[in-house]
Amino acid sequence: MIGAFEVMIGFIAMLGMMAAGIHVAVAIFTVATLGTLMYLSVPLLFSFGDTLWGTLNDFILTAIPLFILLGELLLRSGITERMYSALSVWLDRLPGGLLHTNIGASSVFAAMSGSSVATAATIGTVALPAFAERGYSERLALGTLAAGATLGILIPPSINMIIYGAITNTSIGKLFIAGILPGLALAGAFMLTIMAFALMRPGVVGKASERASLRDRLASLVDLLPPAFVFAIVIGSIYSGWATPTEAAALGVIAALGLAVWNRKLTFRMLHECFLSMARTTAMIMLIIVAAFFLNYVVGILGIPTTLTRWVADLGLTPFGLILALVVFYLVLGCFLETLSMMIATVPIVVPMVVQFGFDPVWFGIFLVVMMEISLITPPIGMNLYVVQGVRGRGSITDVMVGSLPFLAIMLLFVLLIILWPGLVLWLPDAMG
């Protein structure tokens, strides 16, 4: 059985290759190959073909391109712009005004797209012009966009949850439902933070817009029906038992196509752009997943989970101490690695160990997703920071980083909350069986 020291060397080597700019899939596959050659046998490398075939034919993973396509269709069919305008009519009355619309719109779009980067780009494009016109604190506005977009991988459907479930053989349906309450709670915490800023420092909030009449507010609800319809189709079909996550994603795509036809946005050019973007993103993700599955296979044969479990036990860490250590570990890792790379590189090693310590894999999946959210706005590699700055197109990224700091602190407190109160994550999936 391989020792803990060798495991650490291999893991550090993999992270070093990623940090040096080597493609994530190449780094993962290289470590798996070296482990096979050094500790196992050359013929075992031929099993990679079986891993490749089995992974690419996994019915569950078909949901990934479908959810990506769903987000692309919603983005290009004009639904997002109407949704943002409708939410602003209702949320503009709260202390903080239009800042709340960023969080609300990000939450709603997250429930349709499953991607934080797509949420940041989409909501940022729609929102930034309005803030420039009304004199809001630009840093705080940018911070709400970057932080609100992190909800894209916590509120279901979530591409990251699908990948976690596929690698760890955890129910994706349970992961989806487990993400609902934490997602809504975190969105609420963001909005409370905005209210606190608005009440303590009124200067950060720009001039209020003209109050819409009750008639106009009720009329705006029509523009919230399409996203609500898509969410009901996707999530409702899963929890009612009518469809698997993959089938639900296909139903969502059909619903999005229908909405595009209704809005007269469906053209061959629009479909070409959607499919092209879907193909690029899916190819990148699936290449990484295939390499991760092969690493998972090699890790299992080498007995690495058992080795690490014994090593941690020898350190005398309690389950609570282990989780706190993982919080620090992922915080540091998130400063240097992109979220998907970080998750796929660590899940095969970490999850068997935490399960041995008695943690529920569904709870740990949500914990891990929240840590991934934090890394999305953690300098210097936080992806959402760069996406929002790219949409902004001027100034320094420092403004986005500073504006995100209050929300980063809230997310760290939220991690502590779900550690101390795991029922926030597990109550709903347990209640629904």
Q: Where are the domains of the chain?
A: 4-431
Question: In the prediction, which pLDDT does 323 show?
Answer: 93
Of 152, 92, 160, 97, the closest CA to residue 120 belongs to 152
CB 44: neighbour CB atoms within 10 A? 16
Is residue 194 exposed (0-12), middle (13-18) or buried (19+ Cβ within 10 Å)?
Answer: buried
**What is the spatial distance between Cα 64 and Cα 368, in angstroms, rounded to a whole number?**
19
> What are the distances in angstroms from CA 330 to CA 26, 115, 324?
22, 20, 10
**What is the spatial distance between Cα 152 and Cα 121, in angstroms, rounded to a whole number?**
11
**What is the spatial distance between Cα 293 and Cα 289, in angstroms, rounded to a whole number?**
6
Do residues 377 and 404 make contact, with C-beta atoms less than 8 angstroms apart?
Answer: yes
- The per-residue b/e assignment along 258-292, b for 16 or more CB within 10 angstroms, e otherwise, is bbbeeeeebeeeebeebeebbeebbeebbbbbbbb
**What is the spatial distance between Cα 318 and Cα 35, in angstroms, rounded to a whole number?**
30
Tokens representing residue 17 in the block: 């290759």
**What is the spatial distance between Cα 417 and Cα 163, in angstroms, rounded to a whole number?**
25
Is residue 397 exposed (0-12), middle (13-18) or buried (19+ Cβ within 10 Å)?
Answer: middle
Tokens representing residue 313 in the block: 């036990």
**What is the spatial distance between Cα 204 and Cα 105, in angstroms, rounded to a whole number?**
20
pLDDT tens for the chain, 433 residues long, are: 566 677 778 778 877 887 677 777 788 888 888 888 887 777 777 777 776 777 677 777 788 888 888 888 887 888 877 888 888 888 877 888 788 888 998 888 887 777 787 788 778 877 877 776 667 788 888 999 999 989 988 988 888 898 899 888 898 889 999 999 999 999 999 999 999 988 888 777 766 566 667 777 788 888 888 888 988 898 888 878 788 888 988 999 999 999 999 888 889 999 999 899 888 878 877 887 788 778 777 777 777 767 766 777 677 778 898 899 899 888 887 776 667 777 877 888 888 889 988 899 999 999 999 999 998 888 766 778 888 888 787 777 888 889 999 999 999 999 999 999 999 999 999 887 6
| DSSP single-letter state for residue 152 | G
Element (H, E) at 381: none
Tokens representing residue 399 in the block: 């403004």
Within 77-115, residue ranges assigned H as helices are 79-91, 98-113
Do residues 189 and 117 make contact, with C-beta atoms less than 8 angstroms apart?
Answer: no
Question: In the prediction, which pLDDT does 4 show?
Answer: 65
CB 1: neighbour CB atoms within 10 A? 9
What's the first-to-final CA gap in the chain, in angstroms?
Answer: 39
| DSSP single-letter state for residue 336 | T
Do residues 334 and 150 make contact, with C-beta atoms less than 8 angstroms apart?
Answer: no
Tokens representing residue 401 in the block: 């980083």
Report pTM.
0.82
Of 123, 129, 187, 119, the closest CA to residue 159 belongs to 119
CA trace torsion 168, 174, 177, 178 (10° rounding)? -60
Is the N-terminal amide bond of 157 cis, ω within 30° of 0? yes
